[in-house]
Structure 1
Amino acid sequence: MSSPTSPAGAPAPVAPAGGLRFAPAAALVLGLVLGAGGVGVAWALGGGDGAGYSGAAGDARHACDALEGFHETDDTAKGAKRDIAFNRLAAAGVLSDAAAAGDPEFKPLAEAVRRVLNQQMRFADFSEPEAKKELKAARSVCAGL
């Protein structure tokens, strides 16, 4: 039996028998999995913000963190600042709804954040006193958690 040949007539490379070789894609996947695991372990061992919060309480805490990180002046900015503000406010809405679905205790938070979102849609910014009032009320609900 003859060796396979390339179109140029030279013998094609053959993998050594008995050796275990990882394809580059498999090595990449393995590296990503190990890296993600390392980050997860570091995060779990690091404790700090949010440690001990899970389920509905965790969702509520994260909703309040997103609301705290929302800067109403960035809502009318251009580019990334506006995108960040919009996404933080949206995240607060989704997380507060999840918290309320998990525990009725968080329904006031979800309602307060929903009013903030409604004001944003109504006025497109937070320069109106009514919009500022709703944002302050939602942050007050967060302060009480």
Structure 2
Amino acid sequence: MQPQELSSAPFPPPPPGSSGPPVPLPRRRNGPLIAALAIGLLTGGGAVGAAWALFGGAGSGPASDAQGACNALAGFDDSKITGSGKESEIALNRWSGAVTLSAAAAAGDSEYKPLADAIMWARQRQANGYDVKKDVAKARSICDDL
């Protein structure tokens, strides 16, 4: 028996019939996806946190959530949501806060479902590029009746 030769390569010897060491697969670039996810989470969390801090976090429950949504909606200017800069960021965060808090209120008490539905309808229309002034006015009218 002859002593086995030690290979200096970090890979095991290739199987018979192959042409050399394995070729590493190209890496997938997940950086942009992870960055977009982080921005989305921070924006959503920031909107809810801002609404809670600005409009009082003393109460809890569906009534408090509905009031927070209405307060965020009261300060929302839909004409600024598509712009850029701080005014657009403020509008986007107030809008996100109104959407999130109205959904939380409706989940806790069906009395607030019309508010959540009106805001969700406006959000869908806004996302599709429609003017939402009338939809936001309807949601504000529901807030006035709460």
Question: TM-score with structure 1 length normalisation?
Answer: 0.58
Alignment partner, residue 73 of structure 1: 79
Q: Runs of 5+ in structure 1 lacking a partner?
A: 1-48
Separation in structure 1 between the aligned mates of residue 58 and residue 141 of structure 2, nearest angstrom = 22
Which residue identity is paired with 1:119? Answer: R
Separation in structure 2 between the aligned mates of residue 114 and residue 98 of structure 1, nearest angstrom = 12
Alignment partner, residue 33 of structure 2: none
> Shift of residue 77 of structure 1?
2.5
Give 1 or 2: higher helix fraction: 1
- For the aligned residues, what is the CA RMSD? 1.8
Alignment of 1:47-62 (within 5 A): 53-62=59-68
Separation in structure 2 between the aligned mates of residue 54 and residue 118 of structure 1, nearest angstrom = 27
Task: Flag the 1:78–1:111 CA change in 2: closer, same or farther, 3 A.
Answer: same
Alignment of 1:1-145 (within 5 A): 53-123=59-129, 128=131, 131-145=132-146
Task: Flag the 1:103–1:75 CA change in 2: closer, same or farther, 3 A.
Answer: same
Asked if the contact 1:92–1:113 (Cα under 8 Å) also holds between the matched residues in 2, the reply is yes
Task: Flag the 1:80–1:52 CA change in 2: closer, same or farther, 3 A.
Answer: closer
Separation in structure 1 between the aligned mates of residue 133 and residue 122 of structure 2, nearest angstrom = 9
> Shift of residue 52 of structure 1?
7.3
Number of corresponding residues: 92
SS at structure 2 position matched to 1:120: helix
Question: TM-score with structure 2 length normalisation?
Answer: 0.58
Separation in structure 1 between the aligned mates of residue 145 and residue 59 of structure 2, nearest angstrom = 16
Q: Runs of 5+ in structure 2 lacking a partner?
A: 1-54
Task: Flag the 1:52–1:86 CA change in 2: closer, same or farther, 3 A.
Answer: closer
Which residue identity is paired with 2:133? Answer: K
SS at structure 2 position matched to 1:62: helix
